[in-house]
Amino acid sequence: MSFIEFDKSVKDYEWLMQDFHSHSHYELFFLLKGNRSFFLKDKMFSICAPCLIVIPPYTMHRTEGSGFKRININVSPDFLSAYEKQVLKKGDNITPLSITDGKTLEKLLEEGCEVFSGGEKNKTDILKILFGYIVYNIDKLEPASPEVYTAHTEKVPAVVLKILEYLSHNFMSEISLTALSEKFFTSKASICANFKKTMNCTVNEYLTTLRLNKAKQLLATSDKSLEKIAEISGFSSAMYMGLVFRKKVGLSPLGYRKLEKSKV
C-alpha cells in the first residue's frame, strides 16, 4: 500500500532510540536543531543541524544525543516517481545543509506536517506535490565532500568499528565471542565492555538484529521458503527465526510476509 507521512519530534532533553531498527520504507531524516550521534549501516557519525540523512529501506540505523528538533518523511517505495527514486538514491548518505537550504526545507517540512495532521479533502495529492518539491530542492543541493563525513565520524574504539564492519559482512555465518576475540586479538571481556558502552547493546543482540533485518527483507521481496531465509540470514533454524520474529516484531515470519506483500 502506497503511503507518505510527515512526523515531527522536538525534545529538550537527552533522548536515546533504544533499539537498532530498519523498515521497508524510505526515511528522510531532517535534523533541524541540535546535535546527534547517528548510527547508519555499520558506522557511527556525529551530525549537527541542519542536516539531511536519507535512509533506504532495510538499512540499520539508530540515533541518540541531547535535545533536538527533527522532521521525518516516511514514504513507501511505490509512492515515488522514477525521478524521486533517482534523487533519493543519489542522496543515500549524510548531507549537511547550508543555513539557507535548512530554512527553506524546514518551511516546507512544517507545511507538510500541518497538511498531514489536518483534514484536507485531497491530503494525499497535496502531500505528493509538496514532497515532489522537497525532493526537487534536495536535488539542487551541492554534494558534500568526503572530508565532511570524516570530520563527523564519531570517535569509536577501533575494535568496535572493526567488529561492526565484520558483522555486517558475515552475519549469515556462525559467529562467537571466542572467534571474534581470536580474530581481533582482544579479550572477550574487552570486546563486551567496549561494544556495550558504544552500541548500547551486546554483540549477540546486534548480530540478531542484523539477521532479523535480512530476514525481513527476504520475506518482503522474495518467495523463498522460511527454511531458506533462515539459512541465508544466519538463523540456526526456521523455528528459531520464528521465535525471534514473534518476540521482536510481534508477528510470525509468514504474518510479516503477508503484511508487507499487502502493501504492494
pTM: 0.88
Q: What CA–CA distance (Å, rounded) separates 159 from 197?
A: 13
58: left (phi > 0), else alpha (psi -120 to 50), else beta? left
Tell me the CA distances in angstroms from 210 to 169, 217, 244, one per residue in order: 10, 11, 12
| pLDDT tens series, the chain, 264 aa | 689 999 999 999 888 887 888 999 999 999 999 998 888 888 888 889 999 999 999 999 999 889 999 999 999 999 999 999 999 987 667 888 999 999 999 999 999 999 999 888 889 999 999 999 999 999 998 765 555 555 455 567 889 989 999 999 999 999 999 999 999 999 999 999 999 988 889 999 999 999 999 999 999 999 999 999 999 999 999 999 999 999 999 999 999 999 988 875
27's grid cell: 526515511
